[in-house]
Structure formats: C-alpha cells, structure tokens
Amino acid sequence: MRNRSPLLVAAGIIQRDGRVLIGQRRKEDRHPYKWEFPGGKVEHRETPQAALKRELKEELQIDARIGTELARYEHEYPGGSHVHLLFFAVPEFAGDPSPRVFEQISWVDLRALPEMDFLEGDLDFIRRLARGDFSAQLGV
C-alpha cells in the first residue's frame, strides 16, 4: 500500500524545426542517464503551468510560454514511486537552453524519440508523439 500521494509532474514539449528538446539525467540522479522532457514537480498551491514555467527557467534558463495540455498519464515505478505526468506544448521561448541540471540536452527528431532511452512513464506518450498524434497542437 502506498503511503504518499502521487507526485504531480509537468513536462514541456519544446519543439523547433520538427525537433524536440530533451534532457539526460545525470549519473547521480534517480534513473541515471535516462532521457526525459524538461519539467518537474508541481509545488503546493502552484498550477501545473506555473510549475512548468518555473522549472524551465531553473533547468534550462529559458523564459517559456506554456501552451496546450497535450496528455496526462499515471505511472508507478518499482519501489512505489507513483507519478501523474502532465505534458504541455511550449510554443515559444526566449533564451538559449543550457543544461543546468542535465548531463546533456539534445534536439531530437520526433520520429527518433522511441530510439532514446526514456523514463518508463514517458514511453506511451513518446510513441504517440513520434507517430504525429499531437502535430496539430504542436504546429508541426
């Protein structure tokens, strides 16, 4: 039985020229070297959109406009970590992304996303993103 409430996480799909920005976790992080979309935990009394805007500033040093919610997923990781994932389009941003909290960041073609070693909770969303399910919302 779980003792804690599920963790609410907001992630941004930042795209440019048919590519999306992803970050690779560091060696010392939980799930080391796994790829993920930038974003993070929603804090108490914070909207998911506000949390994502804050996280993108902290993680990448960019000022982003948060767009449409694309999808919601739930995932339980081994060991009991339970997350609610909310994925948002990020149609515009200012600044040059830098990997402040990541091992590295990379702009990846949408179709190549399934080949990357992503966190388990992202996998179904990645398959849908790669086959174009969100093209209209992302403007690609």
Structural domains of the chain ordered from first start: 7-134 (3.90.79.10)
Give the pLDDT score at 1: 44
Rg of the chain over CA atoms, in angstroms?
14
Give the pLDDT score at 138: 85
96-136 pLDDT tens trace: 999 999 999 999 999 999 999 999 899 999 999 999 999 88
19-73 pLDDT tens trace: 999 999 999 998 899 999 999 999 999 999 999 999 999 999 999 999 999 999 9
| Burial tier of 3 (Cβ tally within 10 Å: 0-12, 13-18, 19+) | exposed
Other CB atoms within 10 A of residue 22 CB: 22
| Helix (DSSP H) and strand (DSSP E) numbers for the chain | 3, 9
Q: Name the nearest CA neighbour of 90 among 43, 42, 128, 57.
A: 57
Q: What is the pTM of this model?
A: 0.92
